[in-house]
Homo-oligomer: A and B are copies of this chain.
Amino acid sequence: MSFNKITIHDISKALEIDSSTVSRALNDSPRVSKKTKAKILAKAEELGYQRNSLASNLRTKKTNTIGVVVPRISRNFFSTVIAGIEETAHEKGYNVVICQSLESLEREQKIAETLLSNRVDGLLISISMQTTSYNHLKPFKAYGAPIVFYDRPCSFESSSSVSIDDIDASFKATEHLILQGCKNIVHFGGPQEIKLYQNRKKGYQNALEKHGLDYAEDYFFSTKLSEKDGIAMAKKVLALGNVDGIYSANDTAAISAIQYLKSQGVNIPKDIAVVGFNNDPISAVIEPSLTTINQPDFEMGQKATTILINEIENNAKPVESIVLVSELIIRDSSKH
Protein backbone atom coordinates (compact mmCIF):
# COMPACT_ATOMS: atom_id res chain seq x y z
CA MET A 1 0.00 0.00 0.00
CA SER A 2 2.73 2.48 -0.77
CA PHE A 3 0.48 5.30 -1.81
CA ASN A 4 1.60 8.46 -3.37
CA LYS A 5 1.45 11.08 -0.64
CA ILE A 6 3.73 13.81 -1.80
CA THR A 7 3.99 16.99 0.23
CA ILE A 8 5.74 20.24 -0.43
CA HIS A 9 8.60 18.90 1.64
CA ASP A 10 9.21 16.12 -0.81
CA ILE A 11 9.47 18.65 -3.58
CA SER A 12 11.63 20.77 -1.34
CA LYS A 13 14.07 17.94 -0.70
CA ALA A 14 14.20 16.75 -4.28
CA LEU A 15 15.11 20.22 -5.44
CA GLU A 16 16.99 21.44 -2.40
CA ILE A 17 14.78 24.48 -2.27
CA ASP A 18 13.08 25.44 0.95
CA SER A 19 9.51 24.32 1.41
CA SER A 20 8.33 27.87 1.95
CA THR A 21 9.53 28.75 -1.52
CA VAL A 22 7.83 25.67 -2.86
CA SER A 23 4.64 26.79 -1.18
CA ARG A 24 4.93 30.23 -2.67
CA ALA A 25 5.60 28.83 -6.11
CA LEU A 26 2.60 26.55 -5.94
CA ASN A 27 0.46 29.52 -5.02
CA ASP A 28 1.90 31.46 -7.89
CA SER A 29 3.34 34.11 -5.65
CA PRO A 30 5.09 36.94 -7.52
CA ARG A 31 7.94 36.69 -5.07
CA VAL A 32 9.47 33.63 -6.70
CA SER A 33 11.62 33.82 -9.82
CA LYS A 34 10.10 32.41 -12.96
CA LYS A 35 12.93 29.97 -13.25
CA THR A 36 12.53 28.32 -9.85
CA LYS A 37 8.78 28.47 -10.19
CA ALA A 38 9.00 26.46 -13.39
CA LYS A 39 11.38 23.98 -11.79
CA ILE A 40 9.07 23.51 -8.84
CA LEU A 41 5.94 23.11 -10.91
CA ALA A 42 7.69 20.57 -13.11
CA LYS A 43 8.82 18.57 -10.10
CA ALA A 44 5.37 18.75 -8.54
CA GLU A 45 3.87 17.41 -11.73
CA GLU A 46 6.54 14.73 -11.95
CA LEU A 47 6.00 13.51 -8.40
CA GLY A 48 2.23 13.70 -8.72
CA TYR A 49 1.90 16.27 -5.98
CA GLN A 50 -1.66 16.95 -4.84
CA ARG A 51 -2.30 19.99 -2.67
CA ASN A 52 -3.75 19.34 0.75
CA SER A 53 -6.44 21.94 1.26
CA LEU A 54 -7.11 20.78 4.78
CA ALA A 55 -3.67 21.94 5.87
CA SER A 56 -3.80 25.09 3.85
CA ASN A 57 -7.26 26.00 5.08
CA LEU A 58 -6.30 25.27 8.63
CA ARG A 59 -3.36 27.57 8.34
CA THR A 60 -5.07 30.41 6.51
CA LYS A 61 -8.37 30.12 8.34
CA LYS A 62 -10.16 30.40 5.04
CA THR A 63 -11.77 27.64 3.05
CA ASN A 64 -13.17 29.56 0.11
CA THR A 65 -16.22 27.43 0.52
CA ILE A 66 -19.83 28.39 0.94
CA GLY A 67 -22.26 26.05 2.66
CA VAL A 68 -25.69 25.82 1.08
CA VAL A 69 -28.62 24.33 2.93
CA VAL A 70 -31.59 23.55 0.79
CA PRO A 71 -34.80 21.76 1.75
CA ARG A 72 -34.75 19.49 -1.28
CA ILE A 73 -32.59 19.56 -4.39
CA SER A 74 -35.11 17.71 -6.51
CA ARG A 75 -37.54 20.60 -6.42
CA ASN A 76 -37.00 22.45 -9.61
CA PHE A 77 -37.25 25.80 -7.93
CA PHE A 78 -34.35 24.98 -5.65
CA SER A 79 -32.15 23.37 -8.23
CA THR A 80 -32.45 26.51 -10.28
CA VAL A 81 -31.53 28.62 -7.28
CA ILE A 82 -28.52 26.36 -6.77
CA ALA A 83 -27.49 26.88 -10.37
CA GLY A 84 -27.50 30.61 -9.72
CA ILE A 85 -25.54 30.16 -6.50
CA GLU A 86 -22.91 28.02 -8.20
CA GLU A 87 -22.50 30.40 -11.07
CA THR A 88 -21.77 33.38 -8.89
CA ALA A 89 -19.71 31.43 -6.38
CA HIS A 90 -17.42 29.86 -8.98
CA GLU A 91 -17.04 33.18 -10.71
CA LYS A 92 -15.66 34.59 -7.48
CA GLY A 93 -13.47 31.63 -6.66
CA TYR A 94 -15.63 29.86 -4.12
CA ASN A 95 -16.62 26.25 -3.84
CA VAL A 96 -20.09 25.26 -2.86
CA VAL A 97 -21.19 22.48 -0.55
CA ILE A 98 -24.81 21.57 -0.99
CA CYS A 99 -26.76 19.87 1.79
CA GLN A 100 -30.40 18.81 1.87
CA SER A 101 -32.40 19.26 5.04
CA LEU A 102 -35.37 17.35 3.61
CA GLU A 103 -37.52 19.79 5.61
CA SER A 104 -36.27 18.25 8.84
CA LEU A 105 -35.03 20.44 11.67
CA GLU A 106 -32.92 17.63 13.04
CA ARG A 107 -31.08 17.19 9.79
CA GLU A 108 -30.70 20.90 9.44
CA GLN A 109 -29.05 21.08 12.84
CA LYS A 110 -26.65 18.29 12.00
CA ILE A 111 -25.81 19.90 8.67
CA ALA A 112 -25.17 23.24 10.32
CA GLU A 113 -22.79 21.62 12.74
CA THR A 114 -20.81 19.80 10.05
CA LEU A 115 -20.59 22.84 7.85
CA LEU A 116 -19.35 24.98 10.68
CA SER A 117 -16.87 22.39 11.88
CA ASN A 118 -15.56 22.31 8.36
CA ARG A 119 -15.27 26.06 8.58
CA VAL A 120 -17.25 27.20 5.57
CA ASP A 121 -16.74 30.90 5.07
CA GLY A 122 -20.44 31.62 4.97
CA LEU A 123 -23.86 30.04 4.83
CA LEU A 124 -26.75 30.27 2.40
CA ILE A 125 -29.83 28.73 3.88
CA SER A 126 -33.45 28.19 3.14
CA ILE A 127 -34.75 26.97 6.47
CA SER A 128 -36.78 23.79 6.74
CA MET A 129 -40.52 23.91 7.31
CA GLN A 130 -39.95 22.58 10.80
CA THR A 131 -37.47 25.24 11.81
CA THR A 132 -38.71 27.64 14.46
CA SER A 133 -35.70 27.96 16.70
CA TYR A 134 -32.38 29.16 15.38
CA ASN A 135 -29.91 28.06 18.00
CA HIS A 136 -28.09 25.94 15.50
CA LEU A 137 -27.29 29.05 13.45
CA LYS A 138 -25.97 31.18 16.27
CA PRO A 139 -22.48 29.65 16.25
CA PHE A 140 -21.99 30.88 12.70
CA LYS A 141 -22.39 34.46 13.74
CA ALA A 142 -20.23 33.84 16.77
CA TYR A 143 -17.56 32.62 14.38
CA GLY A 144 -17.89 35.58 12.12
CA ALA A 145 -19.36 33.50 9.31
CA PRO A 146 -22.18 35.46 7.70
CA ILE A 147 -25.52 33.88 6.90
CA VAL A 148 -27.82 34.83 4.07
CA PHE A 149 -31.34 33.44 4.03
CA TYR A 150 -32.82 32.82 0.63
CA ASP A 151 -36.41 32.17 -0.37
CA ARG A 152 -37.60 31.67 3.16
CA PRO A 153 -36.77 34.83 5.03
CA CYS A 154 -36.17 34.75 8.69
CA SER A 155 -35.64 37.35 11.35
CA PHE A 156 -32.50 36.04 12.91
CA GLU A 157 -30.03 38.43 14.51
CA SER A 158 -28.84 40.71 11.77
CA SER A 159 -28.68 38.65 8.64
CA SER A 160 -29.45 39.41 5.04
CA SER A 161 -32.23 37.70 3.25
CA VAL A 162 -33.26 37.44 -0.35
CA SER A 163 -36.75 36.45 -1.18
CA ILE A 164 -39.56 36.82 -3.60
CA ASP A 165 -42.45 39.17 -3.13
CA ASP A 166 -45.12 36.53 -2.91
CA ILE A 167 -47.95 38.88 -2.11
CA ASP A 168 -47.17 40.87 -5.21
CA ALA A 169 -46.90 37.77 -7.43
CA SER A 170 -50.20 36.42 -6.14
CA PHE A 171 -51.86 39.74 -6.50
CA LYS A 172 -50.77 39.96 -10.13
CA ALA A 173 -51.95 36.43 -10.81
CA THR A 174 -55.36 36.95 -9.29
CA GLU A 175 -55.82 40.35 -10.83
CA HIS A 176 -54.97 38.90 -14.21
CA LEU A 177 -57.88 36.50 -13.82
CA ILE A 178 -60.21 39.25 -12.67
CA LEU A 179 -59.28 41.48 -15.59
CA GLN A 180 -60.14 38.63 -17.89
CA GLY A 181 -63.62 38.65 -16.47
CA CYS A 182 -63.46 35.89 -13.87
CA LYS A 183 -65.84 36.38 -10.98
CA ASN A 184 -65.55 33.12 -9.05
CA ILE A 185 -61.91 32.48 -8.51
CA VAL A 186 -60.70 29.57 -6.47
CA HIS A 187 -57.30 29.53 -4.78
CA PHE A 188 -55.27 26.34 -4.45
CA GLY A 189 -53.11 27.23 -1.50
CA GLY A 190 -50.27 25.61 0.38
CA PRO A 191 -49.80 24.76 4.07
CA GLN A 192 -50.79 27.84 6.01
CA GLU A 193 -48.15 27.39 8.67
CA ILE A 194 -45.69 28.56 6.08
CA LYS A 195 -45.30 32.28 5.57
CA LEU A 196 -44.91 31.83 1.84
CA TYR A 197 -48.35 30.34 1.47
CA GLN A 198 -49.88 32.81 3.86
CA ASN A 199 -48.54 35.54 1.62
CA ARG A 200 -49.86 33.93 -1.50
CA LYS A 201 -53.26 33.76 0.07
CA LYS A 202 -52.97 37.37 1.11
CA GLY A 203 -52.14 38.52 -2.43
CA TYR A 204 -55.16 36.62 -3.67
CA GLN A 205 -57.38 38.28 -1.09
CA ASN A 206 -55.93 41.71 -1.79
CA ALA A 207 -56.73 41.42 -5.47
CA LEU A 208 -60.28 40.30 -4.75
CA GLU A 209 -60.74 43.16 -2.37
CA LYS A 210 -59.37 45.76 -4.73
CA HIS A 211 -61.83 44.68 -7.37
CA GLY A 212 -64.80 44.46 -5.07
CA LEU A 213 -65.07 40.69 -5.01
CA ASP A 214 -65.86 38.79 -1.84
CA TYR A 215 -63.49 36.27 -0.32
CA ALA A 216 -65.25 33.00 0.46
CA GLU A 217 -63.80 30.30 2.71
CA ASP A 218 -64.91 27.48 0.46
CA TYR A 219 -63.07 29.02 -2.47
CA PHE A 220 -59.83 28.51 -0.65
CA PHE A 221 -58.37 24.99 -0.73
CA SER A 222 -55.38 24.12 1.39
CA THR A 223 -53.07 21.55 -0.20
CA LYS A 224 -50.12 19.64 1.08
CA LEU A 225 -48.41 20.07 -2.27
CA SER A 226 -48.71 16.41 -3.12
CA GLU A 227 -49.22 15.26 -6.65
CA LYS A 228 -52.69 14.00 -6.01
CA ASP A 229 -54.01 17.21 -4.52
CA GLY A 230 -54.67 18.70 -7.91
CA ILE A 231 -57.13 16.03 -8.86
CA ALA A 232 -58.93 16.16 -5.53
CA MET A 233 -59.26 19.90 -5.86
CA ALA A 234 -60.40 19.72 -9.45
CA LYS A 235 -63.27 17.57 -8.21
CA LYS A 236 -64.18 20.17 -5.63
CA VAL A 237 -64.11 22.80 -8.33
CA LEU A 238 -66.58 20.83 -10.37
CA ALA A 239 -68.77 20.36 -7.31
CA LEU A 240 -68.88 24.10 -6.74
CA GLY A 241 -70.25 24.48 -10.24
CA ASN A 242 -69.72 28.16 -10.94
CA VAL A 243 -65.93 28.45 -10.79
CA ASP A 244 -64.41 30.36 -13.72
CA GLY A 245 -60.88 30.96 -12.49
CA ILE A 246 -58.19 29.13 -10.55
CA TYR A 247 -55.13 30.66 -9.02
CA SER A 248 -52.86 27.87 -7.88
CA ALA A 249 -49.96 28.38 -5.53
CA ASN A 250 -48.42 25.14 -6.72
CA ASP A 251 -47.65 24.05 -10.26
CA THR A 252 -47.89 20.34 -9.68
CA ALA A 253 -51.40 20.71 -8.37
CA ALA A 254 -52.37 23.09 -11.13
CA ILE A 255 -51.21 20.80 -13.89
CA SER A 256 -52.91 17.70 -12.64
CA ALA A 257 -56.04 19.73 -11.96
CA ILE A 258 -56.05 20.98 -15.55
CA GLN A 259 -55.50 17.49 -16.85
CA TYR A 260 -58.40 16.21 -14.82
CA LEU A 261 -60.73 19.05 -15.70
CA LYS A 262 -59.98 18.61 -19.37
CA SER A 263 -60.71 14.92 -19.12
CA GLN A 264 -64.11 15.91 -17.73
CA GLY A 265 -64.84 18.05 -20.75
CA VAL A 266 -64.01 21.42 -19.26
CA ASN A 267 -62.48 23.86 -21.70
CA ILE A 268 -59.37 25.53 -20.36
CA PRO A 269 -59.04 28.50 -20.37
CA LYS A 270 -62.43 29.31 -21.91
CA ASP A 271 -64.56 27.82 -19.16
CA ILE A 272 -62.03 28.11 -16.40
CA ALA A 273 -58.84 30.19 -16.67
CA VAL A 274 -55.86 29.04 -14.67
CA VAL A 275 -52.78 30.81 -13.37
CA GLY A 276 -50.06 28.87 -11.61
CA PHE A 277 -46.36 28.85 -10.86
CA ASN A 278 -43.97 27.67 -13.48
CA ASN A 279 -41.45 25.86 -11.35
CA ASP A 280 -40.99 23.06 -13.76
CA PRO A 281 -39.86 23.83 -17.29
CA ILE A 282 -41.71 20.83 -18.56
CA SER A 283 -45.06 22.17 -17.42
CA ALA A 284 -45.03 24.78 -20.17
CA VAL A 285 -44.82 22.04 -22.73
CA ILE A 286 -47.33 19.78 -21.07
CA GLU A 287 -49.82 22.43 -20.29
CA PRO A 288 -49.61 25.40 -22.64
CA SER A 289 -52.93 26.74 -21.47
CA LEU A 290 -51.50 27.46 -18.04
CA THR A 291 -50.65 31.09 -17.55
CA THR A 292 -47.63 31.11 -15.33
CA ILE A 293 -45.90 33.23 -12.80
CA ASN A 294 -42.24 33.27 -13.62
CA GLN A 295 -40.16 33.43 -10.49
CA PRO A 296 -36.70 34.96 -10.35
CA ASP A 297 -35.17 31.79 -8.95
CA PHE A 298 -31.83 31.75 -10.73
CA GLU A 299 -31.44 35.43 -10.05
CA MET A 300 -32.17 34.82 -6.39
CA GLY A 301 -29.29 32.35 -6.17
CA GLN A 302 -26.93 34.84 -7.76
CA LYS A 303 -28.06 37.72 -5.62
CA ALA A 304 -27.87 35.82 -2.35
CA THR A 305 -24.37 34.64 -3.20
CA THR A 306 -23.17 38.08 -4.18
CA ILE A 307 -24.40 39.48 -0.91
CA LEU A 308 -22.85 36.66 1.09
CA ILE A 309 -19.45 36.95 -0.55
CA ASN A 310 -19.51 40.67 -0.04
CA GLU A 311 -20.12 40.12 3.65
CA ILE A 312 -17.37 37.51 3.81
CA GLU A 313 -14.72 39.48 2.00
CA ASN A 314 -15.48 43.06 2.91
CA ASN A 315 -17.08 42.50 6.21
CA ALA A 316 -20.05 44.33 4.77
CA LYS A 317 -22.93 44.65 7.13
CA PRO A 318 -26.10 42.72 6.34
CA VAL A 319 -28.56 44.29 3.95
CA GLU A 320 -31.48 42.82 5.88
CA SER A 321 -34.06 42.12 3.24
CA ILE A 322 -33.94 42.12 -0.54
CA VAL A 323 -37.16 41.33 -2.31
CA LEU A 324 -37.31 40.17 -5.90
CA VAL A 325 -40.33 40.53 -8.10
CA SER A 326 -41.94 37.88 -10.27
CA GLU A 327 -43.48 38.43 -13.66
CA LEU A 328 -46.47 36.90 -15.32
CA ILE A 329 -46.05 34.88 -18.48
CA ILE A 330 -49.32 35.00 -20.28
CA ARG A 331 -49.57 32.23 -22.79
CA ASP A 332 -53.22 32.45 -23.57
CA SER A 333 -55.36 35.42 -22.80
CA SER A 334 -58.24 34.28 -24.99
CA LYS A 335 -60.62 33.87 -22.10
CA HIS A 336 -64.27 34.28 -23.17
Give A contacts to B, CB under 8 Å.
1, 3-5, 48, 50-55, 57-58, 63, 73-74, 76, 79-80, 82-83, 86, 95, 97-98, 100, 114, 116-119, 139, 142-144, 227-228, 230-231, 252, 255-256, 259, 280-282, 284-286, 315
Contacts and interface: CB of A to CB of B under 8 A. Distances in A.
B286 A143 contact: no
A3 B73 contact: no
A162 to B, nearest CB: 20
9 smallest CB-CB distances across A and B, nearest first, come from: A74-B79, A4-B142, A3-B144, A53-B117, A54-B58, A227-B285, A51-B117, A73-B73, A53-B118
22 contacts: A1-B144, A3-B143, A3-B144, A4-B142, A4-B143, A50-B116, A51-B117, A52-B58, A52-B117, A52-B119, A53-B119, A54-B58, A55-B58, A73-B79, A73-B98, A79-B79, A97-B97, A97-B98, A98-B98, A252-B282, A256-B285, A286-B286
Given A82-B73, A259-B286, A3 B48 contact: no
Interface class of chain A by DSSP: helix
A269 B252 CA distance: 24
A63 B55 CA distance: 12
A104 to B, nearest CB: 12
A285 B119 contact: no
A114 B63 CA distance: 11
Contacts of A119: 52-54
Contacts of A63: 54
Contacts of A50: 116-117, 139, 143
Given A4-B142, A143-B4, A144-B1, A281 B58 contact: no
Given A54-B54, A74-B80, A227-B281, 19 more contacts: A3-B144, A4-B139, A50-B117, A50-B139, A51-B117, A52-B117, A53-B114, A54-B119, A55-B58, A73-B73, A73-B82, A74-B83, A97-B97, A228-B285, A230-B285, A252-B282, A256-B285, A256-B286, A286-B286
A315 B52 CA distance: 22
A174 B280 CA distance: 29
A142 B285 contact: no
A285 B55 CA distance: 51
A300 B212 CA distance: 56
A50 B114 CA distance: 10
Nearest to A68: B98
Contacts of A74: 73-74, 76, 79-80, 83
Contacts of A280: 282
Contacts of A230: 285
A255 B286 CA distance: 8
A284 B79 CA distance: 22
